[in-house]
């Protein structure tokens, strides 16, 4: 027979009831992808925490079920997006909505009416990729640069005035930036124009002078060479004297003009 002290008072009963009720109010939990459909961006997700379920006579552990058809939230906006090829075992954060979102999930993103009065239910979850326990943190996260890429694979690292592109371990090849690229092209333009205005122009002038001198020097033969042609019975064959070299031929080309201004547009780099 229970003692009077073993019988909970009203306050204790209320506390236990409230605790039990709150244990069914889901807000956020870590989860693990069980299956992912890239065409719908929906996943089956297993909650990664075994919960306690408080009872009047104690507590028991509750292994939560796999939650189907969970929208995976890829960052997006303004027509732009960043998506991830989710795989089985990838960790996520499950966020549970305050109201029924079944009608919203089947719509086009507009306002939808809840068909059920449930609140903070397991079935009304979103999954956000990227939750990492301490034993599975990103190996190549950078303390000073924005890194986009694959951990241990190809990466783009942005920091200060430098953008590096390459594989893991630092991505050491610098990408072309518009202003720096323009300054390098301007230097190349100056070098080419100096060559065109100096060395090349001198060569063209000398070449054209040489061609003019040779072309205006006529040469006429005064001798007649008369070999014997066996087929004509030994008759002499007269070879006409060489004519003079034609007048000055067309110049190989006028001096080249200078290189035009270099634009300041951005430069795209593509890996072949």
Domain boundaries, the chain: 4-137
User: What's the whole-model pTM score?
Assistant: 0.60
Give 211-265 pLDDT, tens digit per residue: 777 766 655 545 444 555 555 555 555 545 444 434 444 444 444 455 555 554 4
The predicted pLDDT at position 211 comes to 78
pLDDT of residue 272: 40
**Residue 156: pLDDT band by 50, 70, 90 thresholds?**
confident
Of 47, 51, 11, 14, whose CA–CA distance to 32 is shortest? 47
The mean pLDDT of the chain is 77
Q: Are strands 28-37 and 91-96 parallel, antiparallel or unpaired?
A: antiparallel
pLDDT in tens, 72-85: 999 999 999 999 99
* Dist CA 223 CA 249 (whole Å): 27
Is the pLDDT higher at 25 or at 45? 45
By the 10 Å C-beta count (0-12 exposed, 13-18 middle, 19+ buried), 110 is classed as exposed
Which of 188, 194, 152, 195 lies closest to 170, judged by CA? Answer: 152
More confident residue, 168 or 77: 77
Per-residue DSSP letters for 243-256? PPPPSPPPPS-PPP
For 109, counting Cβ atoms within 10 Å of its Cβ (0-12 exposed, 13-18 middle, 19+ buried), the class is exposed
Separation of alpha carbons 101 and 107, rounded Å: 10
Least confident range from 51-65, 109-123, 165-179: namely 165-179
pLDDT of residue 244: 42
Task: Name the CATH code of domain 4-137 (choices 3.40.50.9100, 3.30.230.10, 3.30.420.10, 2.40.50.230).
Answer: 2.40.50.230
Question: In 10 A of CB 181, how many CB atoms?
Answer: 17
Strand partners, 163: 158
Return the pLDDT at 152: 83
List phi, psi (to 5°) of 78: 65, 25
């Amino acid at each position: 027979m229970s003692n009077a002290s073993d019988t909970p008072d009203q306050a204790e009963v209320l506390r236990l009831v409230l605790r039990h009720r709150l244990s069914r109010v889901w807000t956020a939990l870590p989860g693990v992808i069980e299956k992912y459909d890239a065409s719908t961006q929906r996943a089956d997700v297993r909650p990664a925490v075994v919960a306690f379920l408080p009872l009047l006579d104690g507590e028991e552990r509750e292994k939560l079920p796999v939650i189907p058809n969970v929208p995976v939230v890829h960052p997006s906006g303004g027509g732009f997006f960043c998506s991830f090829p989710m795989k089985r075992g990838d960790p996520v954060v499950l966020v549970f909505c305050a109201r029924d979102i079944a009608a919203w999930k089947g719509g086009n993103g507009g306002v939808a009416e809840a068909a059920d009065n449930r609140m903070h239910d397991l079935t009304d979850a979103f999954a956000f990729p990227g939750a990492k326990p301490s034993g599975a943190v990103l190996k190549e996260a950078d303390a000073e640069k924005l890194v986009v890429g694959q951990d241990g694979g190809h990466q783009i690292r942005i920091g200060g005035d430098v953008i590096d592109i390459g594989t893991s371990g630092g991505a050491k090849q610098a990408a072309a930036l518009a202003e720096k690229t323009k300054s390098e092209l301007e230097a190349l333009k100056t070098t080419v124009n100096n060559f065109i205005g100096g060395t090349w122009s001198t060569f063209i002038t000398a070449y054209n002078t040489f061609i003019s001198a040779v072309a205006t020097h006529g040469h006429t033969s005064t001798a007649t060479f008369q070999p014997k042609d066996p087929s004509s019975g030994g008759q002499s064959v007269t070879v006409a004297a060489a004519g003079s070299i034609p007048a000055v031929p067309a110049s190989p080309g006028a001096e080249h003009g200078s290189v035009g201004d270099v634009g300041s547009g951005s430069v795209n780099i593509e890996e072949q």
